[in-house]
Amino acid sequence: MAEHISAKGASAILRNLGPLLPDLEALYKDIHAHPELSMQEKRTAGIAADRLSKAGYEVTTEVGQTGVVGLLRNGEGPTVMLRADMDALPIAESTGLAYASKITATDAGGNVVPVGHMCGHDMHVAWLVGAATLLSQARHAWKGTLMAVFQPGEETAQGARAMIDDGLLQRFPTPNVVLGQHVMVGPAGTVAGSAGPITSAADSLQIRLFGRGAHGSMPQASIDPVVMAAAIVLRLQTIVSREVAATDAAVVTVGVLQAGTKENVIPDDAVIKLNVRTFDAGVRTHVLAAIERIVNAEAEASGAPRKPEITPLDRYPLNVNDETASNRIAEAFRGYFSADRVKHTGPAPASEDFGCFGTAWQVPSVFWFVGGNDPGIYAKAKAAGRLNELPVNHSPQFAPVVHPTLETGVEALVVGALAWLDVAAS
């Protein structure tokens, strides 16, 4: 009979992490200094493929454009998929780190933009390289198949779907479980998760409003799209405060409001771009319908010559952790980490396309968070009620402390994988 590896067995495998850490730290800093935009991760993908190949994996590149899949077949047993995303953001880094990004790149729209790893995907790559290497070195200790997936385009909700559309399900073995993690605000050295919804569904929309332009001194000749847009932005705030129950959760954020080019010219149109986060399918349906109702009603009230155009930009699915698999991960973590390092957390309003893999394969998936803040700084901020002042993901100042964030993420992936992989029968 096969059995799952104990915490003691995981500790034996992870003894080799110490000697590996200097190399993983150098890798992390290199990727941090050389970020790449979504679906442009050629350099990062090349590094991941090279590391997997050297560790003895069967490597397939260019899955879904720049994705990398590594397979380590190690006898009969379960198949475990470990996923890391690789892309960076069009944000100018202001961390002041010696290895800070100074990169610019051309985005999908042809614009030259700054690029920075301000969400932590560089740490995710280093984590998976480390876990894949350690598990390869310890092939004598487990049986099964390990699938390491380096995913492109998470920030634009393209990458997971691109890999699936490129035959991921047909070209590679079906995993028994899909595991992933994300560095977040929290004390470094801790892991946190829960069963059920773990990251929100997200919908991004563009709304184009049509008016009639005129001279700024003659507003009576216009149908002012600026006033129309302002009314819509304010009214949209009432969806969450007046239409969503206090026991539910939703976020409606307007991130872009564009109209006109000169102060004394009333423009013909205005553009609003907004983002919606929800944790329930019914709430999502209601919020999106309310947005459409408010936008059309305000345009009609303004006498707009045309109905507004509402265009979806991207969508992230609700990411739901399988209850049985989540409990198994939590038990494995409690067996390896000390009790104070394993936290329970509610769902985060951030969004992820990680859940696409488990849904497509119809297998359980589990996603958890790894703290990235200096524990002392985090504790002081919490005691002072100033946690909201710590730089969060997507901030120009977001930068996880390297240690113990780096080793904790590697440990969590190894322990999580070993909760499924089997020990050879004695």
Residues annotated in a binding site for Mn(2+)? 119, 121, 155, 182
Angle between helices 7-14 and 402-418 in degrees, nearest 10 = 130
- Structural contact between residues 5 and 134, judged by C-beta atoms closer than 8 angstroms: no
Token digits for 264?
């004394």
- In the numeric block, the tokens 């936008």 are attached to 295
| CA 289, chain centre distance (Å) | 26
DSSP letters spanning 247-275: TS-EEEEEEEEEE-SSTTEE-SEEEEEEE
Closest to 190 measured CA to CA, from 339, 89, 332: 339
Sequence-ordered list of residues with C-beta below 8 angstroms from that of 330, at least 6 positions apart, any chain:
193, 342
Q: Residues forming the annotated binding site?
A: 119, 121, 155, 182
Radius of gyration of the chain, Cα coordinates, nearest whole angstrom: 24
Phi-psi map region of 167: left, alpha, beta (phi>0 left; psi -120 to 50 alpha): left
- Structural contact between residues 209 and 268, judged by C-beta atoms closer than 8 angstroms: no
DSSP 3-state of 202: strand
Torsion of CA 117, 118, 123, 128, to 10 degrees: -70
Measured distance CA(412)–CA(39) in Å, rounded: 27
- Structural contact between residues 280 and 248, judged by C-beta atoms closer than 8 angstroms: yes
- Structural contact between residues 253 and 204, judged by C-beta atoms closer than 8 angstroms: no
Q: In what helix (H) or strand (E) does residue 424 lie, and over which residues does it extend?
A: none
